[in-house]
Amino acid sequence: MAFELPDLPYAHDALASKGMSQETMEYHHDIHHNAYVVNGNKLIEGTEWEGKSLEDIITGTYDAGAVAQNGIFNNASQHWNHMQFWEMMGPGENKMPGELEAAIKDSFGTVEAFKDQFSAAGAGQFGSGWCWLVKDADGGLKVTKTENGVNPLCFGQTALLGCDVWEHSYYIDFRNKRPAYLANFLDNLVNWENVASRLG
């Protein structure tokens, strides 16, 4: 199945008042995300992965022992990562549902402790990558970080929340202040209803 760039679930300027500018969204969604779609389609054409689901391509091409992942994986995984990322943010009030708050407190003690761990993972990811709140196979929640385009699918985990810490996600709005970007993401941008819906 060919990759397709999804429309944003809100206008390009919908998050501007919350710290993610229209310019960032135009570069990040329309150029960077689209590049993963275009390049991914070129790379899978005529291969065994053409016609496979995006998730199957990601888990099938991930090489746990590789120093650097292959081009098909990189573009497929970044396409998936960004599709989740747009949905995980929103322009609304974004209050955390009780079910999610209870699950977070069960695993981390407090919501603030979770936010501290999540921010530390994102700030501590050397170079490009992502930080995640995931649900493990045993049902417990934990914070992880991954390099480049690697994501929780590679480890059999469910992605509840992910934050892109590649510089193109924050440099226009925050320059090199990644911790400030992460704090703003958690406090103002996350669509907690979407996160809660992923608990299953």
Look up the CATH number of the domain holding residue 84: 1.10.287.990
Q: What Cα–Cα distance (Å) separates residue 130 from each residue in 33, 65, 118, 151?
A: 15, 19, 10, 8
- Digit-coded pLDDT (tens) for 74-106: 999 999 999 999 999 999 988 999 999 999 999
Tell me if 12 is assigned to a ligand binding site.
Answer: no
Tell me if 82 is assigned to a ligand binding site.
Answer: yes
Q: Are residues 66 and 152 in the same domain?
A: no
Q: Are residues 64 and 117 in the same domain?
A: no
Query: What is the predicted pLDDT for the residue at 1?
Result: 77
pLDDT at 46 over 90: yes
Comparing CA positions, the residue from 1, 151, 152 lying closest to residue 78 is 151
CA 122 vs. chain centroid, Å, equals 11
Q: Taking residues 188-193, what's their average pLDDT?
A: 98
Answer with the one of 88, 110, 131 that is the final residue of a domain. 88
Q: Taking residues 158-167, what's their average pLDDT?
A: 98
Q: Taking residues 140-160, what's their average pLDDT?
A: 98
Bigger pLDDT: 93 vs 32:
32
**What is this structure's pTM?**
0.98
pLDDT at 68 over 90: yes
Q: Taking residues 27-53, what's their average pLDDT?
A: 98
Query: What is the predicted pLDDT for the residue at 129?
Result: 98
Looking at the structure of the chain, the number of domains it has is 2
Q: Are residues 194 and 106 in the same domain?
A: yes
Q: Domain of 179: which CATH number?
A: 3.55.40.20
Tell me if 164 is assigned to a ligand binding site.
Answer: yes
Q: Report the chain's mean pLDDT, rounded to a whole number.
A: 97
Q: Taking residues 45-58, what's their average pLDDT?
A: 97
